[in-house]
Structure 1
Amino acid sequence: MTYQDAVRYIEEIPKFTEKHSLAYIRDFLERLGSPGLDKKVIHVAGTNGKGSVCAYMRAVLLEMGRRTGFFTSPHLIALNERIVIGREQIDNEKFLAVFEQVKATVDGMAADGVSHPSYFEFLFGMAMVAFERADVEYIILETGMGGRLDATNAVERPAVTVITSISLDHTAYLGDTVEQIAAEKAGIIKEGVPVIFDGTDPRAAAVIGERAQALHAPCRKLGKNAFEIREITRKHIAFSRASAYDKDELWTIRGCGTYQMMNVSLALAALETVLPEEYIDYERWKEAVASVVWKGRMEEVRPGIFLDGAHNPGAVEAFADTLEALGEREPVILFSAVSDKEYEKMASILCDRVKASLYIVTEISDGRRVPAGELKEVFTRYTDRPVLVCPEPAAALGTAVSRREGRSLYCIGSLYLIGELRRLITEGTACISEEAARTSEGPSAHRGGTDLC
């Protein structure tokens, strides 16, 4: 079997199985030899910011010489991105070796009449096996969609739990109120295990705090006063973080996403809770935090061209907050969405708060894509600014670059879109220079009154 065979097998899993109970996952892990369960696990749930929080924690742990594994989702381009050991995602050879071990266990389960793990469950099993093989000391686990019933919640005794910002997303599965969603995310809290959480939404904070109290879990709530912007540019943010530990230290992060200040603060608070005192060295921590680039999160991939994985209303609000902090005026917005997201709400926020010079709507290759024509109809309900339909992402990117006329370009709305655009740029198949984009967009792009490229 080859790496490509393994990937094809995993991608086929959703067609013949469904999500299982935590008891099933615990049995699955036991059959695998209980990999990673004796490690120090940092468990992270929330609606937005999970991956960033994990990335900042990983950077600090590695700076302090701690062997670290990181399980994240979704991936942008390759499945390997979900399993990271140290600073590198697992390579194809190791990916295949771990796959074969998990596949053999799953075949044994089938022989016993036990159903096949889901896509996410299979990958979680692979990650835990990979971390066991690498003999890591710390494992950072990012939940998938929820928390209480998430496969990662089968880990019964993490070292610390972290809950990031809560907003409406996956409402068909997690509930249609902030309180209901917060209750699902708070399901990762364990008896007596410290929890660090974003307390800026009082509705979510009340639910999380009540759950922590019921489980005698020491909790640390971070509110809006936990940090303050000192300087913001399109390249970096400098902010102060007031806490009982570092008083009024100045921290610097790459990029311009203002939401990252809370994510850094959560990450540092969690590490202050879990790391021995000898590893709390803020000067080294600052260097680690300043080095982090989290792909697809306000990432400047070319001068003035940004990718941001804002894919629900809460994330789009945070995106708009960032543009307001920057004083951004009339940027170009490239947008796409999947049908199970609240894309009309996202469009209304963009039109109300961003005031782009031009909105370009496109489609992703996933079966849940929203047709670009439908997205145009949605946008035109909320704005009188031009809305251009460009179904192919590569052409949409080229057109956006050619039409931005010195303005910033922000590509948002779907992580699938961000992954596709990153792939195009990385492989060099996207024309994103001004001159190349003009020649690639076709004769209709500049015709007066046209709305289709």
Structure 2
Amino acid sequence: MTYQEAVAYIEEIPKFTEKHSLAYIRDFLKRMGNPGMDRKIIHVAGTNGKGSVCAYMQAVLLEMGRRTGFFTSPHLISINERIVVDREQIDDAEFLAVFEQVKETVDGMAADGVSHPSYFEFLFGMAMLAFAQADVEYIILETGLGGRLDATNAVEHPAVAVITSISLDHTAYLGDTVEQIAAEKAGIIKEGVPVIFDGTDPGAAAVIEARAKALHADCRKLGKNAFEIREITRKHIAFSRGSAYDKDELWTIRGCGTYQMMNVSLALAALETVLPEEYVDYERWKKAVSRVVWKGRMEEIRPGIFLDGAHNPGAVEAFADTLDALGERGPVILFSAVSDKEYEKMVSILCGRVKTGLYIVTEIKDSRKVPARELGEIFRRYTDSQVLVCREPAEALQEALARRHDRCICCLGSLYLIGELRRLFEENAACT
């Protein structure tokens, strides 16, 4: 089998099927020899910010010389992005090798009358096998959907659990209140395992604290005073952490997403919990954090052109907060969405919070796309500004570039859109 055939096989596995039980996942992993379960595992759940928190932790661990595996989702361009060893996603040959081993296990399961793993479960098995074979010391696991029933929750003895910001998303699967969703995310908390979490939402915080208390897990809550902005530009943010001890210590991160300050703070708190004292070296940690570029999160891919993966109401609020902090006025907004998101709520927030003369809507190349025409009609219900409808992302991008007139361009609404735009920028250096 070739790499391309392996990817095609995985892509044909249904992405949105009923989850298998954790007992099923544990049996699946056991058949492969429980790869990676003897490593130090950092487990991360939440609605927004999971990938960023993981990326900051990965950077610090590597700075301190710790060999690290990182399982993340979704990918923007290549499926290999989901399985990272140290600083590199696994290459095509490595991907194919672990695919074939997992496929052999799955074939054995089929022979025993056991059902096929889901898309995410199959990739999780590949990741754990790749990490074990690379002999990593730390494994960073980002949950896919939820937490309690997520395949990654088959890990029974993580070193620390991290829960990022929680807001309404995947409500058909996780519940239609923040408290219900928090309960699903808090399902990653294990008996006696320390928990670090974003406590800025009181309802979510109460649920997480109650779960931690019931499981005798030390609990560290980071609230709105966990950090303070000292300087913000389109290129970077300088901030201090909230404690009296740290107030004069300046941390710098690339990009201008103000939500990243909480994500960095969560990452640092988790590492302070899990790393031996000799590896807590803040000067080296600062260098590592300052170098992180997490693609598609207020990423300035060209001067004045930003890609942001905001794809739910909470993330759109955070995007608007960033523009407020920057003092940006009248940006060109390029937007698309998928049908299982609360896209009308996202549009209403965007039109209410971000005042501009031009919104451009497009549609992604996926079966779950919201048609551009429908998005255009929704925008026109919430704004009197010009709304331009372009079915093709490439056409939408060209219109944004042609009409920007020294304004910044902000692209958001779907990670699928961000992946498509990244591909266009990479293929066409003239997109400026």
Shorter chain as normaliser: what TM range? over 0.9
SS at match of 1:115: coil
Counterpart in 2 of 1:270? 270
Percent of counterpart pairs with the same letter? Answer: 84
Counterpart in 2 of 1:52? 52
Counterpart in 2 of 1:397? 397
Counterpart in 2 of 1:109? 109
Question: 2 CA distance for matches of 1:356 and 1:100?
Answer: 51
Counterpart in 2 of 1:226? 226
- Map residues 34-53 of structure 1 onto 2, 5 A cutoff: 34-53=34-53
Residues 18 and 117 in structure 1, CA contact (< 8 A), matched pair in contact too: no
Counterpart in 1 of 2:26? 26
Question: 1 CA distance for matches of 2:235 and 2:247?
Answer: 26
Question: 1 CA distance for matches of 2:161 and 2:215?
Answer: 13
SS at match of 2:115: coil
- Map residues 400-419 of structure 1 onto 2, 5 A cutoff: 400-419=400-419
Equivalent AA in structure 1 for residue 278 of structure 2: E
- Map residues 151-300 of structure 1 onto 2, 5 A cutoff: 151-243=151-243, 246-300=246-300
Long gaps (5+) in structure 2:
none
Question: 2 CA distance for matches of 1:218 and 1:26?
Answer: 26
Residues 25 and 151 in structure 1, CA contact (< 8 A), matched pair in contact too: yes
Report Cα offsets for 1:178-210 as digits up to 9, x if no partner: 000000000000000000000000000000000
Counterpart in 1 of 2:303? 303
Question: 1 CA distance for matches of 2:328 and 2:246?
Answer: 32
Residues 242 and 248 in structure 1, CA contact (< 8 A), matched pair in contact too: no
Equivalent AA in structure 2 for residue 325 of structure 1: A
Give the length in aligned residue pairs: 432
Counterpart in 2 of 1:359? 359
Question: 2 CA distance for matches of 1:237 and 1:416?
Answer: 27
Deviation at 1:242, TM superposition (A): 2.4
Deviation at 1:432, TM superposition (A): 1.8
Deviation at 1:15, TM superposition (A): 7.8
Residues 17 and 115 in structure 1, CA contact (< 8 A), matched pair in contact too: no
Deviation at 1:250, TM superposition (A): 0.8
Deviation at 1:244, TM superposition (A): 7.0
Report Cα offsets for 1:390-426 as digits up to 9, x if no partner: 1100111011011010000000000000000011111
2:107 corresponds to 1:97: no
Counterpart in 2 of 1:123? 123
SS at match of 2:12: helix
Counterpart in 2 of 1:432? 431
Question: When the two structures are superposed, what TM-score results if normalisation uses the length of structure 2?
Answer: 0.99
Question: 2 CA distance for matches of 1:239 and 1:100?
Answer: 46
Question: 2 CA distance for matches of 1:245 and 1:302?
Answer: 38
- CA distance 1:336–1:15, shift in 2 (3 Å): closer
Counterpart in 2 of 1:450? none
Equivalent AA in structure 2 for residue 403 of structure 1: R
Counterpart in 2 of 1:137? 137
Long gaps (5+) in structure 1:
434-453
Equivalent AA in structure 2 for residue 211 of structure 1: R
Counterpart in 2 of 1:149? 149
Question: 1 CA distance for matches of 2:245 and 2:83?
Answer: 32
- CA distance 1:8–1:162, shift in 2 (3 Å): same
- CA distance 1:111–1:219, shift in 2 (3 Å): same
Counterpart in 2 of 1:448? none
- CA distance 1:42–1:16, shift in 2 (3 Å): closer
Question: 2 CA distance for matches of 1:328 and 1:137?
Answer: 43
Equivalent AA in structure 1 for residue 21 of structure 2: S
Deviation at 1:52, TM superposition (A): 0.1
- CA distance 1:31–1:260, shift in 2 (3 Å): same
Report Cα offsets for 1:350-372 as digits up to 9, x if no partner: 11110122000000001010111
Equivalent AA in structure 2 for residue 316 of structure 1: V
Deviation at 1:17, TM superposition (A): 6.2
SS at match of 1:62: helix
Equivalent AA in structure 1 for residue 339 of structure 2: S
Question: 1 CA distance for matches of 2:158 and 2:285?
Answer: 22
- CA distance 1:244–1:85, shift in 2 (3 Å): farther
Counterpart in 2 of 1:382? 382
Counterpart in 2 of 1:444? none
Question: 1 CA distance for matches of 2:240 and 2:120?
Answer: 38
Residues 15 and 119 in structure 2, CA contact (< 8 A), matched pair in contact too: no
Question: 1 CA distance for matches of 2:113 and 2:225?
Answer: 54
Report Cα offsets for 1:29-60 as digits up to 9, x if no partner: 00011000000000000000000000000000
Report Cα offsets for 1:415-447 as digits up to 9, x if no partner: 00000001111122x7523xxxxxxxxxxxxxx
Equivalent AA in structure 2 for residue 63 of structure 1: E
- CA distance 1:342–1:388, shift in 2 (3 Å): same
Report Cα offsets for 1:217-247 as digits up to 9, x if no partner: 0000000001000000000000000237645
Residues 15 and 120 in structure 2, CA contact (< 8 A), matched pair in contact too: no
Equivalent AA in structure 2 for residue 291 of structure 1: R
- CA distance 1:15–1:349, shift in 2 (3 Å): closer
Report Cα offsets for 1:313-338 as digits up to 9, x if no partner: 00000000000000010000000000
Question: 2 CA distance for matches of 1:57 and 1:245?
Answer: 21
SS at match of 2:43: strand
Question: 2 CA distance for matches of 1:52 and 1:15?
Answer: 23
Report Cα offsets for 1:98-149 as digits up to 9, x if no partner: 0000000000000011000000000000000000000000000000010000
- CA distance 1:152–1:15, shift in 2 (3 Å): closer
Residues 170 and 340 in structure 1, CA contact (< 8 A), matched pair in contact too: yes
Question: 2 CA distance for matches of 1:302 and 1:246?
Answer: 34
Equivalent AA in structure 1 for residue 431 of structure 2: I
Deviation at 1:248, TM superposition (A): 3.5
Residues 15 and 118 in structure 2, CA contact (< 8 A), matched pair in contact too: no
Question: When the two structures are superposed, what TM-score results if normalisation uses the length of structure 1?
Answer: 0.94
Counterpart in 1 of 2:331? 331
CA-based RMSD: 1.1
Question: 1 CA distance for matches of 2:77 and 2:123?
Answer: 15
